[in-house]
Every structure is written in C-alpha cells, then in structure tokens.
Structure 1
C-alpha cells in the first residue's frame, strides 16, 4: 500500500494546482508534475534511504546465518624428555566441532532482522512523502512570488499612468509641482517592494532547483494556477488518516524488532550444545579411535539480566514514542488545517467585498481626479488599496495550497476537498 503514496500525492498536487495551458511546450517552463518527478529522482535523502534498506537487508541475511563449524588438531605427549622428546611419540587428534543453537534463538534473530528491514522500507516511504511535500511547497512559493511581482508591476503601471494627467494639471495650475514628487515617491516605494520580492523569488527559485538536483535554476518560470476549489473535510477525518502515515506505520515494525530483541535477550542464558567428533591416533600401538564430546555452558554467573532489562525498557517505550510522533504530526496538521480554513474565509471576504469595492472606489476616484474633484493623495490611496487587496488574495491562495501540500504529506494520500463526494 505504501508504494502508491507518492503516485497519489503527485495526482493530488495536479488536482489542487490546475496548471494553465501552455500552448507550445517550453523547455524552461516548469510544472508541478515535472518538479515532483525531478525531485524524486535527485533527492540524496531518498538515495540514503535506499542504502539504509540495503544495510537492513544485509543484516537480515546475516541474522539467518548458521554458526560455522570449528576444526582442531591436537597432539598429546610431545616436546618432553626421554622417549617423549620431539613429536615422534605423541598421540594426535583431528577433531571437528559444531555448536547448535537451541530454544529458537536463530528464529528470534531472523525475526529481528526482518523487522528491521520492514522498518527501513517504511522509513523510505516516509522520506518520499516528505520530499514530495517539500518540493510542492517550494514550487508553490515560487509560483506565489511570481504572481506577487505581477501585481506590483501592475501597480507601478497604474501610478505611471497618472503622470500625463498630473503633468497637464500642473501646467494648468490645478495642481502643485509637489504632487509630482508625491507620485514619484509612491512609485518608488512600490518598486522597492518589487525588488524585495524579486530577491525572495531568487532564493525560492534556488531552493526549488536544489530540491530537483540542480545547483542553480534551469527553468525560467513555473506554471500553475492558485485558485482553490471545494471545501475541506472535517479535521477529525484528517486525524484519522494520519494513522496511515509511514512515520506511524513504521512503529509496528519497530515494535516487532524490539520484541524479537527482547526474546533473543531472554533466550541467551539458555545453553547451546557443542558436539565434537574426531579421530585419535595412538602412537604406542598405531591404533586409531573415534573421539566424541559434548559440551554445554553452565549459566551461573552471567544470565544476561542487564541486556534483558535494557530490551524490556526499549520495548516498553515504543508505544510512548509512537504517541509522541503522532502528537507532533497532529499538531502540524492542525496548524496547516487552521491556515487552510482561514485562507478560505479570507479569500471569501476579499473576493466578495474587498477587491470589488476597492476597484470600484479606485475607478470612481480616478475619474473624479480628472474632473478636479479628488486630490492626487486620494487617487494613490485608492490604487494602493486595490493592490493591497490583490496581494492579500495572492497570499491567501498561496497559504491555502501550502497547507494542502503539508496535510497531504502527513496523511500519505490526496487530501480530498469535498466536491459532492470524496476523491
């Protein structure tokens, strides 16, 4: 089930950010889908996670290895004095020994290794979701800043359009020369905001490029739309979906691994049996005989109590660690969900009242300014109100989609905005 998370997330991102038709394909125009694919292919965190799986696979293989036999050669009655000088009078024994693990120790070791491999695989899925979420948020940040610069450009153009009329009014004596300077100041302030936004955009573009494996951006612009649609489900449904997050699912594998380690610690004091068989040659008679032996350790002094206690505590804290992890995810999801809800309410107010009223007022004041009924300060203030309302709209749209990307990265599947039925 975890292998489908990334595909679902990519589909959700496409659904939430409905990309504008591009006409002719442009190699330097980046879409959300392309950004996600490139980030998955280039992520060093995913590469490291793959190596962790390889490490765990090696440990799983090693856990099932049988204990190697031992071979020994023994001489008895050598390097003495008289008839036992040198080795000519020595008896010799060639022996092979094999220790047999009992009480299910090997099975417990295999279970711990398999659980470790399962945990590594699930951890990779969690990292994959994080990479997708981070890339989607970086993409949306670039898209939002692009839109913000467009709005500021339009505001500068609107101020500049006043200049010819202002100049005529100055020449006619209807306005003072000081008003020309006031218009220049207003234009300069907007241009300063635009330069600050351009710097933020340059940083955001670089961050997105690095996530895709490039040292510098190789795209000119990102393409997409920020209009939200539908309404979100209840927060409780988000909380319920969080339990499917790989970060929480992996605790099942961790619990199994620690449980197997505890069993292994408890079984260690139980003695294993070593059986030896060999051939002994007696020098005096030239006869040969088979030698058999069985050895069993006596667990008197070391019964592995320290390791058993350590394994018990490690197992006991698993539930608390999972709950702490879950609480953190719920807090993050809650913040994103509240941001999402607030953004939708903010957009509703701006679109129903704020932006239309600001535009109507700006149009009326601009027309009245040409007739001498309003001052330049009132015109600039009206234009600034329109620009601020549109900037607030852009910010709310961006916050909405960033919140959606955050929640999708936590629940591990598309965050269904209700459109009559869940997706």
Structure 2
C-alpha cells in the first residue's frame, strides 16, 4: 500500500498551481529523475564502475605483458685496438658482434603468467563488486530522495489538517463551547507544523540534489520517475551460492600461492644463449662462437622473497577463512532483516488504514461536540506518526535489500544471476 497522502492538499496544492501558471520557465529548469531501472542502464557511465573496469583492464594487460619473452642483448666489441706498432689506431682491430638471448627454461615465464592471470581474475571480480556497490548507492540515494519527497508531502498534509482543526477549534471558541486557551494551543500547533514543512522541504531539496549528483544529472530534479519504496524485493532463494566477497578472497588466495611459485623460480639460475661473430681485420676472415651462460645462485637465493610470499599466502588463506564465516553470517542476518522489514511494512500499512479511520471518526465526533480537542489532537498525531512510520518501514526494507544484494554481488531489486 502506498503511503502517498490521499487527502487533497488544499493550500499547498493551490500554491503550487499558482507557481506553475506564473512561472513556466521555472518548471522547465527542473525535471523528473529517471527511474531506478533507467539509472541501472547507465551504470557503466558511473565513475565507480569505470574505475573498477579500468583496474580490471589493467590486470588483463599485465597478463599480456607477463607472456612477453625477455629481450635479447646485442653487444659490439673491438679487440687489439689503440695499441702500438701495427696495432696503433683501430684500422687493424678485430671486431666482435655478440647476440645474447635469455632462456627461461626453468618455468619462470609460466609462473609469472599464472600469477598475472590470478591477479586478473581477482580484479575482474572486484570490478563486479564495484558495479554492485554503485547499484547499491544508486538504490539508496533514490530511496532517500523518494522518502524525502513523501515526508515533505506528509508534512504539508499535516499542516493542512492542523489548520483545519485550528479553524474548527476557533469556531467552537467563538461559540463559547471551548475556552480561549484551546485556540492559542491550536495556533501553536499550526506554527510547529509550518516549521516542520520548512524542515522537510530543506531535507527534500538536499536529497534530490544528492540523487542528481549520483545519477550524473546536471539540471535540478524535483521528483522521481517510479516508486522504489513501494517495490517489493525479490524473495531470497533457498540456494546457497558463494558470495562475491568469498570468491574474491579465493582468487586472492590462489594468486598468493602462485606468487610463492614466482619467488621460488627467481632463485633458480638464469640461463642465456650467446652467438658471436668475430671479424679478423688483417686476415679478412670471420669466425663464429656459440656459448651458454648460467648464473650461479651462490649468495642470493631469494630466501627473503620466498618467505615474504609464503607469509602473504598464509594471510590470504586466513582472510579467506574469515570471509567465509562472515559472509554466511551476514547473509543470514540480511535475509532475516529483509523478512522482518516486509512484515513491518505490512503492519505499518494496516496501522495507516486504522489511523485514517480513527481520525475521520474523531473529526466527526469533535464537530458534533462529543470528542474533546485533546482527543482530536491525539488521533491526528497518531495518523501523522503512522504515515511517517510507513515511510520508515519502506526505507528499512530498501536498506535490507541493498545489504543482501551487496553480499550476493548483484544490483538491488534484481534477480541473482
């Protein structure tokens, strides 16, 4: 059931109508915010989503770079130059052209590629998490803006009801049926209601401005397209899937293990193949040399790097275990909160219906002289509080759905894929 005020806003509606007639240009400056589903269609344009996609693209590029072979080395040497006698100067010097190519035959390149692939997988999952976070932010901002609009309408209606009750009290005071004190109290309530309208208007404008910023809308907005507060979230599925946070922690643990292998490969000897051409200037002949060079891991065996990578792997595995336990507990809590908010929303709607009927009967009884002003004020306050509670219940339901969607790695109010 919608909590939008049903009673016509007499004074407020007339005031708005006059403004629209007198200032059509002002109406053109503001616009209706796109619906939540339309905003989800623009999610790829949001800065948070762009950032996550860019980081994932960077990780994919590092995989491509990890596959690259090491560059060869070319050297050119002169022998028997700048000596004495026949070897004075460089005219009789022998030249040597050497080409050296590092050979990663001990699995260094494969380990490097596997580690980069693990990092790319984790970055891709974090990109999905960024999309889910942006969708949750949009849903929360949209719901806050809609609730601010409804609270403003409720405050405006409460002002109208308070003014009507004050007019009825004034008529009874003039007839001598109520003391003058009741009229003073009624006018005080009207003043408080006007202050509440001003406060609600400020909160509404701030919430709409935040929504315009989150939706990347340059011009101001004055309303929302479709209701998100009245939208029922999808029912939680009984199937238990790994949460996105657990999948990210798993990818990070796998990557940490592969980085240990990378550090171990770095402790192995570096092997290079060499081909050299020697040109003997005096004889006018050429000769070729083929060689192999192998580093000896005598002093640096990368023990510190291996220990550091192993410690980071242990930390990643511990984070994974902790994430599994927290994710399961958080999901159960979010499902319970969502079910409780659904029940609270139904109860709030029933309370609004009962309060509306109670206030209607109280007005009839007050005008007939059977109900006192205090009883009328009490029923009016109960009606205003019930409608505000209904908005709070719907806002809590949206918050519960946002939390559950974040744990499941999806957009709020969208079915899990």
Shorter-chain TM-score: which interval?
0.7 to 0.9
**Aligned counterpart, 2:48:** 45
Residue 256 in 1 paired to residue 260 in 2?
no
Deviations 1:240-283 (A, max 9, x none): 34x232x3222333233222221121112221322211222234
CA apart distance, 1:55? 1.7
- Provide the rounded CA distance (Å) in 1 between the counterparts of 2:184 and 2:279: 115
For residue 28 of structure 1, give the secondary structure of its aligned residue in structure 2.
strand
- Provide the rounded CA distance (Å) in 2 between the counterparts of 1:207 and 1:315: 42
1:384 pairs, out of 356, 381, 385, with 381
**Aligned counterpart, 2:294:** 296
**Aligned counterpart, 1:200:** 203
Residue 155 in 1 paired to residue 158 in 2?
yes
Partners of 1:265 and 1:307 within 8 A in 2: yes
Provide TM-score, normalisation by structure 1: 0.82
- Provide the rounded CA distance (Å) in 2 between the counterparts of 1:190 and 1:78: 102
CA apart distance, 1:371? 2.7
- Provide the rounded CA distance (Å) in 2 between the counterparts of 1:361 and 1:50: 55
**Aligned counterpart, 2:38:** 34
Partners of 1:209 and 1:215 within 8 A in 2: yes
Provide TM-score, normalisation by structure 2: 0.83
Change (3 A) 1:169 1:27: closer
Higher relative contact order (CA 8 A, sep 6+): 1
CA apart distance, 1:413? 4.4
Change (3 A) 1:124 1:311: same
Match runs of 1:268-283 below 5 Å: 268-283=266-281
- Provide the rounded CA distance (Å) in 1 between the counterparts of 2:330 and 2:310: 31
Change (3 A) 1:193 1:220: same
CA apart distance, 1:399? 0.9
**Aligned counterpart, 1:224:** 227
Partners of 1:102 and 1:272 within 8 A in 2: no
For residue 143 of structure 1, give the secondary structure of its aligned residue in structure 2.
helix
Q: Structure 2 stretches of 5 or more lacking a match?
A: 3-29
**Aligned counterpart, 1:244:** 243
Q: CA RMSD in A?
A: 3.0
For residue 289 of structure 2, give the secondary structure of its aligned residue in structure 1.
strand
For residue 173 of structure 1, give the secondary structure of its aligned residue in structure 2.
coil
**Aligned counterpart, 1:77:** 80
Deviations 1:85-117 (A, max 9, x none): 212332221221112111111111111122222
Match runs of 1:23-172 below 5 Å: 28-38=32-42, 40-172=43-175
Deviations 1:217-253 (A, max 9, x none): 345334216346599558xx58x34x232x3222333
